[in-house]
């Protein structure tokens, strides 16, 4: 949004200036939040089209509104590209976001009070996998598994024992702060043993799977949910993939079960992102995300940072700052002032509260999209170390302006997609 004489500028200068300010901010900072990325100019353009004007309740060929001559082909393209890219039988591209997608799975397979099993939120799971403060932990009986205290990794024997004892009808694997490869085959074996439906939530790693940088749950999980942003580099939306056996139940749960008309402009953006994700260039990007994460993890470890599970297999790193004598919240705010965007996060067995936890959650999707490589990760780790060390010593205000200038100099050499 570089043109000051835009319709938005003329209609609402206040919003226009805030959008420009956010554009500058995203350009000038190192964005390490693992759930964030930069979409391409094509995806951005698709989401800002006249498609937002059209209501389209129903599915292609089965709508409740007329005038779908061009909407139906758009949604069908998105569906076909999703099933082709991931090798799934069926795709629903209408969920508004990841949490509604997961809620649709509950509606498709469970009745209130029945049992669901998922990874607990403090151990790396997601709110919608049955955590107490979520509707999924209120309306259903929730059984939560975690990680081993000594390794920070999941123990599939413990998962199996819990599943056999509690007999959940639905099992979620995946989460929001898991730095290691998910054993989809192991979860599938447990689910088969108790005749449960296995749901793989790949919101964080969908792009890595599409690019061949992480194993796929297709062939193991009955249902797969994902957001379409994060590593997949699409708009803010979601998809549900499933076997043909469950296609009708999933579609019915999304509409009319939970939603009205789909957001057609988002569907178009998803279709564009899926086409981009099928290219050799995207495959290179996905592998580079992992290479950057591993390089960043190694550099942080060399500087004395304690990483949950000892490192990473994917795009995400979870840091326990207890040994640095700073809190995650204080560190995140200091790093933000220095131009390095992270999010404070609980770590497994965290003695602190979620709003002021011990950890930081970081990742490499955004910096990889900008073209940064493993050799730049050592510099990023060095800046993080400078800020965290200064925070512990009490002189962080002297350090952050200096680091921010250096960050801006680096980001000018690696511009976001135009």
CB atoms within 10 A of CB 157: 10
Provide DSSP, 330-355.
HHHHHHHHTTEE-EEE--TT-SS-TT
**Catalytic site residue from 54, 236, 303, 352:** 236
Name the catalytic one among 27, 57, 114, 183: 57
User: DSSP character for 153?
Assistant: S
Q: How many other C-beta atoms can be found within 10 angstroms of the C-beta atom of residue 14? A: 7
Secondary element (H or E) of residue 145: strand 141-145
| Secondary structure class of 262 (helix, strand, coil) | coil
Residue 307 near residue 297 (C-beta atoms within 8 A): yes
To the query of whether residue 155 is one of the catalytic residues in this protein, the response is no
Catalytic residue among 31, 180, 230, 404: 230
Measured between alpha carbons, how far is residue 232 from residues 201, 208, 248, 410 in Å? 14, 8, 26, 25
Q: Is 201 annotated in the active site?
A: yes
For residue 207, cis peptide bond before it (omega within 30 degrees of 0): no
Q: Which of 38, 47, 201, 344 is catalytic?
A: 201
> Which residues, 6+ apart, have CB-to-CB distance to 187 below 8 Å?
156, 159, 171, 173, 198, 200, 220, 221
Residue 303 a catalytic site member: no
156-166 and 184-194 helices cross at what angle (nearest 10)? Answer: 20
**Distance in angstroms (rounded) separating the CA atoms of residues 210 and 276:** 10
**DSSP H helix total and E strand total for the chain:** 16, 15
H/E run at residue 115? strand 115-119
Rounded to an integer, what distance in angstroms lies between the CA atom of residue 189 and that of residue 197? 11
**54 catalytic per annotation:** no
Q: Is 294 a catalytic residue?
A: no
277-284 CB contacts, 8 Å cutoff, 24+ apart: 277/85, 277/207, 277/210, 277/211, 277/232, 277/233, 277/234, 278/81, 278/84, 278/85, 278/210, 282/207, 282/210, 282/211, 282/233, 283/211, 283/212, 284/211
Q: Which of 47, 115, 225, 227 is catalytic?
A: 227
> Is 114 assigned a catalytic role?
no
d(C-alpha 92, C-alpha 110), whole Å: 19
Please check whether residue 184 is in contact with residue 200, taking contact to mean a CB–CB distance below 8 angstroms.
yes
Q: Provide the annotated active-site residues.
A: 55, 57, 201, 227, 230, 236
């Amino acid at each position: 949004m570089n043109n000051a004489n835009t319709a938005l500028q003329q209609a609402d200068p206040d919003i226009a200036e805030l959008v420009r300010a956010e554009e500058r901010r995203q350009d000038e900072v190192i964005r390490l939040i693992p759930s964030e990325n930069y979409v391409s100019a094509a995806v951005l353009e698709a989401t800002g089209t006249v498609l937002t004007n059209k209501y389209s309740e129903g599915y292609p060929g089965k709508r409740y509104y007329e005038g779908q001559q061009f909407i139906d082909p758009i949604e069908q393209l998105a569906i076909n590209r999703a099933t082709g890219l991931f090798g799934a039988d069926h795709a629903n591209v209408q969920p508004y976001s990841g949490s509604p997608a997961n809620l649709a799975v509950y509606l498709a397979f469970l009745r209130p009070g029945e049992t669901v099993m998922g990874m607990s939120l403090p151990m790396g799971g997601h709110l919608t996998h049955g955590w107490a403060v979520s509707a999924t932990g209120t309306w259903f009986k929730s059984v939560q598994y975690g990680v081993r205290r000594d390794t920070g990794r999941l123990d599939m024997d413990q998962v199996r024992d819990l599943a056999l004892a509690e007999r959940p009808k639905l099992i979620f694997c995946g989460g929001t702060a898991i730095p290691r490869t998910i054993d989809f085959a192991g979860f599938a074996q447990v689910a088969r043993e108790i005749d449960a439906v296995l749901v793989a939530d790949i919101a964080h790693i969908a792009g890595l799977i599409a690019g061949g940088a992480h194993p796929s749950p297709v062939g193991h999980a009955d249902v797969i949910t994902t957001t379409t942003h994060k590593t997949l580099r699409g708009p803010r939306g979601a998809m549900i993939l499933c076997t043909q056996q469950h296609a009708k139940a999933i579609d019915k749960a999304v509409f009319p079960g939970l939603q009205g008309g789909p957001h057609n402009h988002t569907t178009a953006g998803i279709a564009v992102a899926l086409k981009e994700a099928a290219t050799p260039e995207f495959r290179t990007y996905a592998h580079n995300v992992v290479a950057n994460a591993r390089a960043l993890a190694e550099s942080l470890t060399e500087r004395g940072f304690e990483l949950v599970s000892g490192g990473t297999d994917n795009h995400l790193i979870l840091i326990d700052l207890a040994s640095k004598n700073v809190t995650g919240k204080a560190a995140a705010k200091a790093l933000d002032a220095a131009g390095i965007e992270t999010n404070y996060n609980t770590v497994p067995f965290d003695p602190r509260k979620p709003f002021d936890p011990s950890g930081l959650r970081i990742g490499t999707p955004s910096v990889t999209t900008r073209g940064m490589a493993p050799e730049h990760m050592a510099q990023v780790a060095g800046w993080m170390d400078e800020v965290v060390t200064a925070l512990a010593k009490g002189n962080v205000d002297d350090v952050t302006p200096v680091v921010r200038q250096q960050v801006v100099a680096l980001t000018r050499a690696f511009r976001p997609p135009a």
